[in-house]
Structure formats: structure tokens, C-alpha cells
Chains A and B, each alone.
Chain A
Amino acid sequence: MINKYLALMVSAVAIFATSANAGHHGHKSAVVPTITQEAVLTGLENPWDVAFLDDGTMFFTEKCKGFSVRMPNGDVHALYGMKDSSGYADMGSDLHCSNQAGMLGLAVDPDFANNHRIYVASASTKYHGNGCKTNFERCDGNIVMRFEVSKDMKSVSGRTDIVQDIQFKPFESNHPFGGNGAHNGNRPTFGPDGALWITTGDRHRGVCPQSPTLICGKVLRIDTDGNAHPGNNPPKGYDKRIYTYGHRNVQGIAFRADGEVFTAEHGPWHNDELTMLSNGKNGGWDPQQNVGGRGDCPDEYCGYMPNQKKGVIPAVRAAYMPMSDTRFPDLMKPAWQNNGYSQGTSSIAFLEGSQWGMYEGRAVVGIMGIAFGGTPAGMRLDVYDIAQNGESIRSVIHLPVETKRYRGVTMGPDGALYANTDEGEIYKITAK
């Protein structure tokens, strides 16, 4: 029934889209594909990310439980759990979840066939040390772990914490969504260069995004031991693991076929952004107080100002607290700013394969959106035709899928798009 409904919707879209875009922009096809959607897994608890092997084996995280693997025959093996979880082959008592934080992204080593390695990001208490006593100091509370998966795919071993100092928010603050554990980023992925890329969030700390030494509000590029990529080019004095800085909360990162890397970044009640990254450059987010014409802000974080407890016209907020502040000379210009709204961008992927027709090569993004302060709700997947230079979009359409809170989007080895939702499902979305 749902599939029939979707097919009808797609047909309607096709009539418009074909006439509007046929033959434009060098796409390989003017055909609008028929989209179908089916659930692969249901009843999960906040599945946050998935990653595939070539044979369709699918690893996935659940934010407050741990990570598991679904075999091609449908069997699921629970591999590594968090504190207080049960049923996993092994567990880490330091791994915990709280509000937005928990076990978030994971990535499969490009050489998995030989080394059986996977990489998982999570909140952890293991490296708090003498920090984390207030919200206004260093708190090494998000990590990236490397594991080796057993040959029978039923357990993992050799946990090595290759990044130990991604910042974490330890306490509630006087902000909207102000609980601890805010803004972690934590979406690792491998690039075509073989490097491991990791996104981080500003954790509601004003100094984070522009800090040269704290790796919060950054995109990192490292090797699989956690060392900086030799090609990184951050400003002098910055942590060499930094590829770009000045970010708010990057939950999405993906590579276009030409190798360019794009992020999807969640805005603060205004201006969600898609941005083509440039080595060593600035995303332009700087929520510090007493800079950029601002005065004191609640708990030294201006991210939701002005008038942070009430609805304010997004453009007014954007003028006061811009996502991409033009006072930075090394600013990266976003390709898209959601017409000034924030509807909660989560993950991004590029649609690969001719089955996607005119959408081949375009970016698909999860829009979670809770309809706050007069902003329209999200709960959809959008497809963007991003300009070659990465500085604008040519078009955006809603993919005809069910209304869900899409947390993650990942291309599968079968050419389908896999989308995981906060409601607890992992969907296979197929184009024909």
C-alpha cells in the first residue's frame, strides 16, 4: 500500500521534474526513478548510524545500547555494549548515554577484508581525568574506538581508543536543549583518500569552535591510529588533526564522486547548512560572548541568542549570531542555508548509480525538524543538486518517503539508500 502511494507521488513529481530539469547540468539521465521503501530492522532504540561491507553485512549503533552487526542472512549479533546494557558479546563500562550523547557514529575500515577493523564513536568517562568538573573547562568525554571483529562476526576484540579528547558537555546549562551531552557531532567516515574523517560538535561551549587546541566544533582528518593526516593545513598553532574548524554540530559528512567533501550541519533555530569543506578553513561559527558585537550570554554561550527562550524571526537571530560569520576571512561559503530556517539537518550521502536516474550524484540529507517557534516541521529526506563549485544549490526536492525523523543516511553496496530513524527503524530505500 505504501509502495503504491509512493509510486503515485513519484509519478506526479516526475511530470514536473522532468520538464524542469531534463538535460541540465550534465546529469546522466533525465529519468525520475520510482522510489520504494521497506523496513530492514525495526524495534531498535535510537539507531544512530550504519556502515556496510561489500556483501551487505551491516553494522549499526544504538545510542544507549551498543553496536551490532546484521548478517546478509538477517541474523543479528550484538557485539559491544555500553554501561548497563545486556546481551552483547562484550561491553565497555565507561561508555554511557545522556540526552544527545551516547554511542553515535561508526565506520568500516576500507581494508576490512584483511584487518577486520571498525571504528565507533561514543561518550565515555574513561578520560575525564581532572577535567569535567564544570561546563567551563576541558572535558575529554567523547572518544573514537577501533575494534577488530572476529572471523565469525560474533564478537570484537582489541579495543583501542584512537581519539580520546573530543569534548563533552558534563552538566546542564541555561540554554534551550540545555541538558548535558549536547552537540557531540561524532560521525566518523572514511574518505576516498583512505583517511578517517570525524565530525565534532561545540558541546555548548562558546570558545570551542574557534579554539586552536580543543577539538570541539571541528572536522578531523586522521589515520587509523589517531594521528593527524600529513596533508591537513590548519592555521599555525592549531591541533594538526583539524581539517576544518568553526563548526556548530556537524552530524553529516559525505564525499561527492569528484572527491569533494561536504558536511550537513544543524543550525541554531536558523540556517541549517550544507558546506563543501576546504582544508584548514573556517565554518564561521563563533558563539563566544563579547565578540562579534555581542555582550554577555547565558553560561558564556551565545548560540541561541538573542531572546533564547522565545520565538524570534530567524533572520534576526542570524544577524546577531550567524552560522557563517563573514568577519572571518577564511570563511567557507555554505552551499545551502535552508532559506534561513533550522529544521535539524542530520546526515548526508550522495546517491550513487544509474538506478537513481536524474538524482544520481545528488546529495540526500535527513531533515529531522521539530517545528519549533513557527518553523515548519521536517521529518523528511531532501535531495539537493549542489553546484559544482559547492557554493550554491540548483534545486531541492522532497524524496517521497514516509514521515520519519531520519537520523542517518548511508549508501548500501547494493545501490540502495539506507536510512535509520529515531523511531527505531532502518529502512532500505530503492530506486528503479
Chain B
Amino acid sequence: MKSLVFGFLSIFITVYASSATSGDIAAGETRYGVNCFICHGQAGKGMASYPKLAGKEVAYLIDKLETYRAGTRIGPNSDLMIMNAEPLSDEEIANLAAYLSSL
């Protein structure tokens, strides 16, 4: 019985993790080029007081974007990010995370 529960749990985690990290890199790059690059620079390199995003973990990027989208302040430029994250869909967030983590 325990092994059965463990098996289902493993499948669930695998499927969940897969869906959470299955963003489209090309679509993410396109979305990044709409306005994200204006602060975070080409290819997420960061500039001025706007942090580098290139190479960050997918889970980290998704968490931050979802936090901003929910209107939660987590740093000095939060108001700016909240405004930009509010219109993002789950798919756009996954795509952006996939693109930035791939750099």
C-alpha cells in the first residue's frame, strides 16, 4: 500500500514539475522583447539598479513573477514589477522563465 501511494505521489510530482517547467523558450524571448529588456537589458543581463535575470532557476523566476502578479512587494522596485506582472498569464510566466533560465 505504501509503495502504491509513493508511486502515485511520484507520478504527481513529476507531472506537476513538468508542467511548471515546460515553458516555450522562443515565446519567452518574444515576450521579453516587448518591454522587459528596457530595464533588465538585452538577454536578461541586468543594468543600472535592475537585476540580472539570465541563468536564474525556472522555479525562482516563476515564483517571483507570480508574487509580483499577486501584488506583493518584495523589494524596492516592486511597484514597477507589480504593474508589469499583473497582465501576465500563467503561460507567459512559464515562457519567460524558460527563456531566462536558458541564457
A-B contact count (CB 8 A): 54
Contact of A372 with B80 in the complex, beta carbons under 8 Å:
yes
Tell yes or no: B38 within 8 A of A by CB: yes
Tell yes or no: B75 within 8 A of A by CB: yes
Tell yes or no: A39 within 8 A of B by CB: no
The interface size bin for chain A is 20 to 34
A172 cross-chain contacts in B, Cβ below 8 A: 76
Tell yes or no: B48 within 8 A of A by CB: yes
Q: Of B35, B47, B49, B82, which contacts A179 at CB under 8 A?
A: B49
Contact of A179 with B45 in the complex, beta carbons under 8 Å:
no
Contact of B76 with A422 in the complex, beta carbons under 8 Å:
no
Contact of A422 with B47 in the complex, beta carbons under 8 Å:
yes
List the A residue with the shortest CB-CB distance to B75: A179
Dominant secondary structure of chain A at its interface with chain B: loop
A423 touching B47 in the complex, CB below 8 Å, given contacts A371-B38, A379-B38: yes
Tell yes or no: A432 within 8 A of B by CB: no
List the B residue with the shortest CB-CB distance to A172: B76
Tell yes or no: B53 within 8 A of A by CB: no
A72 cross-chain contacts in B, Cβ below 8 A: none
B20-46 Cβ-contact flags toward A at 8 Å (1 or 0): 000000000000000100110110010
Contact of B39 with A178 in the complex, beta carbons under 8 Å:
no
Tell yes or no: A99 within 8 A of B by CB: yes
Which of B47, B80, B83 neighbours the largest number of chain A CB atoms within 10 Å of its CB? B47
A424 cross-chain contacts in B, Cβ below 8 A: 45, 47
Complex CA–CA separation, A308 to B83 (angstroms): 12
A377 touching B49 in the complex, CB below 8 Å, given contacts A99-B76, A177-B77, A309-B79: no
List residues 174-190 of chain A with CB under 8 A from any CB of chain B.
176-180
A423 cross-chain contacts in B, Cβ below 8 A: 41-42, 45, 47
Tell yes or no: A2 within 8 A of B by CB: no
Number of residues of chain B lying within 8 A (CB) of chain A: 16
B69-82 Cβ-contact flags toward A at 8 Å (1 or 0): 00000011101101
Complex CA–CA separation, A99 to B49 (angstroms): 5
B35 cross-chain contacts in A, Cβ below 8 A: 371, 377
A300-325 Cβ-contact flags toward B at 8 Å (1 or 0): 00000000111100000000000000
Contact of A377 with B38 in the complex, beta carbons under 8 Å:
yes
List the B residue with the shortest CB-CB distance to A309: B79
Contact of B38 with A311 in the complex, beta carbons under 8 Å:
no
Complex CA–CA separation, A370 to B34 (angstroms): 12
Complex CA–CA separation, A308 to B80 (angstroms): 11
A100 touching B45 in the complex, CB below 8 Å, given contacts A177-B77, A371-B35: no
Tell yes or no: A405 within 8 A of B by CB: yes
Complex CA–CA separation, A177 to B38 (angstroms): 15
B49 cross-chain contacts in A, Cβ below 8 A: 99-100, 177, 179
A422 touching B83 in the complex, CB below 8 Å, given contacts A370-B38, A379-B38: no
Contact of A405 with B77 in the complex, beta carbons under 8 Å:
no
A371 cross-chain contacts in B, Cβ below 8 A: 35, 38
Contact of B47 with A177 in the complex, beta carbons under 8 Å:
no
Q: Of B38, B77, B82, which contacts A369 at CB under 8 A?
A: B38
Tell yes or no: A373 within 8 A of B by CB: yes
In the complex, how many angstroms separate the beta carbon of A421 from the nearest chain B beta carbon?
8
Tell yes or no: A46 within 8 A of B by CB: yes
Complex CA–CA separation, A309 to B83 (angstroms): 9
List residues 383-431 of chain A with CB under 8 A from any CB of chain B.
405, 407, 421-424
List the B residue with the shortest CB-CB distance to A405: B47
Contact of B76 with A179 in the complex, beta carbons under 8 Å:
yes
A377 cross-chain contacts in B, Cβ below 8 A: 35, 38
A310 cross-chain contacts in B, Cβ below 8 A: 83
Complex CA–CA separation, A225 to B27 (angstroms): 56
List residues 46-92 of chain B with CB under 8 A from any CB of chain A.
47-49, 75-77, 79-80, 82-83
Task: List 18 extra interface pairs beyond A309-B79, A370-B39, A405-B48, CB under 8 A.
Answer: A46-B48, A172-B76, A176-B80, A177-B80, A179-B49, A179-B75, A179-B76, A309-B82, A368-B48, A371-B38, A372-B80, A372-B83, A373-B83, A405-B47, A422-B47, A423-B41, A424-B45, A424-B47
| A and B contact pairs by CB, cutoff 8 A, 17 listed | A46-B47, A99-B76, A100-B49, A172-B76, A176-B79, A177-B49, A178-B76, A179-B77, A180-B76, A309-B82, A373-B83, A405-B38, A422-B48, A423-B41, A423-B42, A423-B45, A424-B45
A-B pairs with the 3 shortest C-beta distances? A179-B76, A422-B47, A99-B49
